C-alpha cells in the first residue's frame, strides 16, 4: 500500500484543497484541457497539400486527417501514377486504422495524470506531449517512402528524379508546384502539448511539497 502511495502520490486533505483551491485546480484545468483539445483535433485536418499546375488553375488539394485523406485524391493519384508514385490510399494504412484508438488512449492518459500526485504524472503525459512530433515524423516517412521509391515502369519515370514533398512550405516536382501547410488539427495538437507543459509545471508546484513531506514522515500541513 505504501509503494502504491509513492506511485500515485499522497492524498490531499479536503481542508487543504478548500484553502488553496487555485493551487490544485490549475493542473486539472491545463492537463484536462490538453486531453480534451487533443480529442477534438480528431475532427480536423492535420496537414494540407495544394498542387499547382497549368491545367489546374485553382490547384488540387488534399486534406490529411489522422484517419483519412480527403479532397482531390483521385486526380492527384492519377497524376502520381504517371511518375510511378503509389496511391495515397496505400500510405499509413496501419496508422490510420489505429489512430482514433491511439489518440483516445493518450488523451485519457493525459487526463489521468490529474489523479497522479507524483512524478509518475510526467510519464502519463509524455505520449500526448510528443504526439505532434510523432505525427510529423510518420508523415515525413511516408512522403519520403513514396517520393523516393518510384516505379521505373511508369510512363514518365525518366522525367522525374526521386523527391520528398515538404512537410511545410513550397516544393517542385517537374512542372508542378506543391504548397504544404500545417492545418488546424495539428495546431490543436501542438497547443495541447503546450498546455501539458504548463500543466506539469503547476502539477509539480502543487504536489511536490506534499510528496516530500510524506517521504520525510511529516504530516501534510492544512493550516
Domain-embedded: residue 11? no
The C-alpha atoms of residue 185 and residue 40 are separated, in whole angstroms, by: 8
pLDDT at residue 121, rounded to an integer: 92
Could you tell me if 69 and 62 are in contact, meaning their C-beta atoms sit under 8 angstroms apart? yes
pLDDT at residue 108, rounded to an integer: 95
Other CB atoms within a 10 A radius of the CB of residue 152 amount to: 7
| pTM score of the predicted model | 0.89
Domain-embedded: residue 50? yes
Domain-embedded: residue 121? yes
Could you tell me if 63 and 46 are in contact, meaning their C-beta atoms sit under 8 angstroms apart? no
> What range does the domain containing 63 cover?
19-211
Report the number of distinct structural domains present in the chain: 1
Domain-embedded: residue 7? no
Domain-embedded: residue 13? no
Other CB atoms within a 10 A radius of the CB of residue 91 amount to: 18
pLDDT at residue 221, rounded to an integer: 55
pLDDT at residue 4, rounded to an integer: 61
The C-alpha atoms of residue 105 and residue 128 are separated, in whole angstroms, by: 9
pLDDT at residue 172, rounded to an integer: 86
The C-alpha atoms of residue 88 and residue 36 are separated, in whole angstroms, by: 30
CA-based nearest residue to 34, from 197, 185, 155, 175? 197
Domain-embedded: residue 219? no
Based on DSSP, count helices (H) and strands (E) in the chain, helices before strands: 7, 5
Residue 181 DSSP code: E
Which stretches of the chain drop beneath a pLDDT of 70? 1-6, 215-223
pLDDT at residue 223, rounded to an integer: 45
The C-alpha atoms of residue 9 and residue 6 are separated, in whole angstroms, by: 5
Domain-embedded: residue 217? no
Domain-embedded: residue 183? yes
CA-based nearest residue to 219, from 7, 15, 8? 15
Amino acid at each position: 500500500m505504501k509503494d502504491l502511495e509513492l506511485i500515485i502520490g499522497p492524498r490531499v486533505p479536503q481542508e487543504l484543497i478548500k484553502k488553496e483551491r487555485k493551487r490544485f485546480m490549475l493542473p486539472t484545468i491545463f492537463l484536462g484541457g490538453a486531453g480534451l483539445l487533443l480529442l477534438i483535433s480528431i475532427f480536423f485536418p492535420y496537414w494540407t497539400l495544394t498542387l499547382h499546375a497549368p491545367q489546374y488553375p485553382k490547384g488540387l488539394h488534399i486534406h490529411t486527417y489522422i484517419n483519412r485523406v480527403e479532397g482531390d485524391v483521385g486526380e492527384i493519384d492519377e497524376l502520381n501514377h504517371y511518375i510511378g508514385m503509389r496511391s495515397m490510399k496505400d500510405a499509413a494504412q496501419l496508422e490510420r486504422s489505429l489512430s482514433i484508438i491511439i489518440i483516445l488512449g493518450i488523451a485519457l492518459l493525459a487526463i489521468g495524470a490529474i489523479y497522479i500526485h507524483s512524478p509518475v504524472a510526467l510519464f502519463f503525459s509524455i505520449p500526448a506531449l510528443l504526439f505532434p512530433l510523432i505525427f510529423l515524423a510518420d508523415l515525413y516517412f511516408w512522403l519520403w517512402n513514396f517520393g523516393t521509391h518510384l516505379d521505373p515502369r511508369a510512363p514518365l519515370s525518366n522525367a522525374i528524379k526521386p523527391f520528398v514533398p515538404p512537410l511545410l512550405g513550397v516544393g517542385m516536382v517537374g512542372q508542378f508546384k506543391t504548397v504544404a501547410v500545417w492545418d488546424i488539427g495539428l495546431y490543436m495538437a501542438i497547443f495541447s502539448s503546450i498546455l501539458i507543459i504548463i500543466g506539469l509545471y503547476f502539477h509539480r508546484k502543487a504536489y511536490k511539497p506534499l510528496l516530500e513531506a510524506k517521504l520525510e514522515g511529516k504530516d501534510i500541513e492544512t493550516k
